[in-house]
Structure 1
Amino acid sequence: MSTNYPTRAPRHRGLFQQFSPLHLAPAWDQYSVVKARGVRIIALGGYAPYCTSGWVVEQAVGCIELIGAKVAGLGQMLLIGFTLSEQPRPAGFEITDTDAIGTLTMPARCFAACVAIATGSNTHFRIGGDGQLNAIGSDSSLLQLPAPT
């Protein structure tokens, strides 16, 4: 396990300490918890597919787009679609030239509950990995994953 802080010799203290930049970019193969800075919501009739950013939700009754701050030049986003389909698409995660995008497709009956969470003042979301653990929560501590052992 690597650390973000460089190892320094004992003689490098105080004013003589060497400058070493920290690597602050997320490790996308792991999951990152992000504070939502913006939210966009659309309600639909469930008769047609909904497309955004190359992602499609069949028989869409709604979509929530949670937007986080830019990190390492990438915008962070979680797209949550709500469908009447019996076979929703699996969750996913991808990195484009400009964004880190997590996707999540849920049954239509979950739409109102997720809107309530998404419009809260302390909304956070989790994206990364293969996308299977993408999530939304009302507090960042709820979304933390246990450290691998």
Structure 2
Amino acid sequence: MSTNYPTRAQRHRGLFQQFSPLNLAPAWEQYSVVKARGVRTIALGGHTPYSASGWVVEQAVGCIELIGAKVAGLGQMLLIGFTLSEQPASAGFEVTATDAIGTLILPAHCFAAYVAIAAGQNTHFRIGGNGQLNAIGSDPSSLQAPSPV
């Protein structure tokens, strides 16, 4: 049973119900699927690092920034970097005072495929948890996080 709905006494029915606000904020320890409202892409030479908001991609050949709508006062975004480095950094997720930010760093040869998905009309992204399941897709149903075993 959901703890989001308070229990009400029998005398509080109809117009006499007590107002109880619902908590509609995502549970970030789980994963949230977000519709991309904006997409920014940059192609780079792979000779120098690229950094944005304290996030650094070594030997960057490109980066994609997917931006979702604000939820519970937080902007939602997924930053995807593409690198020539042999040891890409692991994926991550963090909640700051203003944003919920997921990150991925992938090999350079994946850049064109991810740009094609990001440029679509119905692009969605998944962020949350420890970031290991951050992803993008053209259909939100394909991004539903697998349930733990």
- Unaligned stretches of 5+ in structure 1? none
Shift of 1:45: 0.7
Asked if 1:88 corresponds to 2:88, the answer is: yes
Please, what TM-score do these two structures have when normalized by structure 2? 0.94
Residue equivalent to 1:145: 145
Q: Using the alignment, how far apart are the partners of 1:148 and 1:15 within structure 2? A: 42
Q: Using the alignment, how far apart are the partners of 1:58 and 1:148 within structure 2? A: 33
Aligned residues: 149
Residue equivalent to 2:78: 78
Q: What does the per-residue CA deviation read over 1:2-41, in whole Å, with 9 as the maximum and x for residues that have no partner?
A: 4322222343322222211000111111111111000000
Residue equivalent to 1:21: 21
2:141 is paired with a residue whose SS is helix
Asked if 1:121 corresponds to 2:121, the answer is: yes
Residue equivalent to 1:12: 12
Q: Using the alignment, how far apart are the partners of 2:146 and 2:110 within structure 1? A: 26
Q: Identity, % of aligned pairs?
A: 84
Superposition pairs for residues 96-135 of structure 1, below 5 Å? 96-135=96-135
Please, what TM-score do these two structures have when normalized by structure 1? 0.94
Q: Using the alignment, how far apart are the partners of 1:68 and 1:53 within structure 2? A: 17
Q: What does the per-residue CA deviation read over 1:110-131, in whole Å, with 9 as the maximum and x for residues that have no partner?
A: 1011001101111010111111
| One-letter identity of the residue aligned with 1:44 | L
Residue equivalent to 1:32: 32
Moved more, 139-148 or 5-14: 5-14
Root-mean-square deviation (CA), in Å?
A: 1.4
- Unaligned stretches of 5+ in structure 2? none
Q: Using the alignment, how far apart are the partners of 2:136 and 2:130 within structure 1? A: 16
Residue equivalent to 1:63: 63
